């Protein structure tokens, strides 16, 4: 575990590394600030996450990331190199990931062709191992709460690393669930019990992982295009698109037509049995009831062996459930705050770090 003192970096060093935070060094931006590419004097490439000075949420995110990432060490978690708090700056420095975030490749019609089945399976495996470490194997029991394609970074060999721990929460070892009135995360990846009732646990991350698996296999986002100007209907609208994605997956699966879901850019160059197993695992992870979703250690066993997989229930997010919740739990206009990602947030993604009635 790194000490806080060993993580401190001089602001002058970071200004030099990024050519004084030059526009041509910008990698992406979000509601918390901007991410830049930099080069340290010894030649190490870095990603410099400069939080906006006016963002109170940014300070909380920084504290959380410092607390967690400095204590974590796993090949599938992004590595924190340093922090700078000089002159009212709030800057986090990470290892640089040449292939950026998974979404920049997965949802680009041309770049997705770079991902053959071997690379996709490696990404699925790596994310699963990283989550098992967070949930079960590290000294802390951690729920990420915002696992999504833009928070999975890829190195030069397409090895995945989970990033952005600003919304993560530490659980006691014997703690199974927390209820909050401040929903944090990204619609489309949120489990139904969290989006609708504020209940989150490690099984919330398992649900998000299931969404990612299905996205990686299909090459498609799991929700449709919408703007950010919705008020009381936002939960209903986004959840409806999520349901349509799952409904299509479920119907193809039950009709024995799951092969039609596979991303056409893969051609015929993939092992059918492995792909079908991954679709099955993805559907297991988005089971309606948290208790029916597997632990990540069980997911890793399924991915690496020929064990018999559990049977499936209908996936979550169904109209009668959503309609009832939207009418009873959502009573006023909502205030959305957007987090810092490794790129600009697309119109198809609605991240939320605080969701509370005005």
Residues with catalytic annotation?
146
Pairing of strands 80-84, 90-95: antiparallel
Give dist(CA 150, CA 341) in Å, integer: 7
Closest CA to 102 of 86, 92, 94, 114: 114
**Using CA atoms, how far apart are residues 323 and 225, in angstroms rounded to an integer?**
20
Q: What percent helix, strand, coil does the chain show, rounded to 5?
A: 40, 15, 40
Strands 334-336, 185-186: pairing kind: unpaired
Residue 218 CA to residue 265 CA, distance in Å, equals 10
The two structure tokens encoding residue 316 = 């979550």
Dist CA 231 CA 351 (whole Å) = 15
CA distance linking residue 88 with residue 41, whole number of Å: 24
Is 49 marked as binding a ligand? yes
Tally Cβ neighbours within 10 Å of residue 326. Answer: 18
H/E stretch holding 68 reads helix 56-69
Helix (H, G, I), strand (E, B) or coil at 224: coil
**Burial grade of 150 (CB within 10 A; 0-12, 13-18, 19 or more):** buried
Distance of CA 200 to the CA centre of its chain: 15
Q: Rounded to whole angstroms, how far apart are CA atoms 204 and 297?
A: 15
Known binding-site residues for ATP equal: 49
């Amino acid at each position: 575990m790194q000490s806080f003192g060993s993580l401190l970096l001089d602001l002058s060093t970071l200004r030099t590394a990024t050519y004084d935070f030059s526009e041509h060094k910008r990698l992406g931006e979000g509601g918390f600030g901007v991410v830049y590419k930099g080069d340290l004097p010894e030649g190490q490439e870095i990603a410099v996450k400069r939080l906006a000075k006016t963002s109170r949420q940014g300070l909380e995110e920084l504290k959380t990331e410092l607390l967690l990432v400095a204590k974590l060490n796993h090949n599938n978690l992004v590595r924190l190199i340093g922090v700078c708090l000089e002159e009212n700056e709030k800057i986090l420095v990470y290892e640089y990931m040449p292939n950026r975030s998974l979404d920049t490749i997965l949802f680009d019609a041309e770049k997705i062709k770079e991902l053959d089945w071997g690379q996709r399976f490696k990404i699925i495996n790596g994310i699963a191992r990283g989550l098992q470490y967070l949930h079960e194997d590290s000294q802390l029991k951690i729920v990420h709460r915002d696992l999504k394609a833009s928070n999975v970074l890829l190195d030069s060999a397409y090895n995945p690393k989970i990033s952005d721990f600003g919304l993560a929460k530490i659980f006691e070892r014997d703690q199974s669930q927390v209820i909050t009135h401040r929903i944090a995360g990204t619609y489309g990846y949120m489990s139904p019990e969290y989006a609708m009732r504020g209940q989150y646990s490690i099984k919330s991350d398992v649900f998000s992982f299931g969404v990612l698996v299905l996205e990686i296999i299909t090459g498609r986002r799991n929700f449709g295009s919408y703007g950010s100007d919705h008020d009381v209907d936002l939960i209903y609208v986004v959840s409806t698109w999520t349901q349509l994605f799952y409904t299509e997956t479920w119907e193809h699966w039950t009709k024995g037509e799951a092969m039609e879901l596979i991303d056409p850019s893969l051609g015929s160059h993939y092992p059918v049995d492995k792909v079908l197993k991954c679709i099955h695992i993805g559907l297991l992870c988005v089971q309606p009831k948290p208790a029916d979703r597997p632990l990540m250690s069980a997911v890793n066993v399924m991915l690496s062996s020929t064990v018999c997989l559990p049977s499936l229930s209908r996936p979550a997010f169904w109209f009668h459930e959503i309609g009832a919740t939207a009418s009873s739990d959502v009573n006023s206009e909502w205030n959305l705050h957007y987090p810092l990602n490794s790129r600009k947030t697309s119109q198809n993604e609605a991240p939320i770090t605080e969701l509370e009635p005005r």
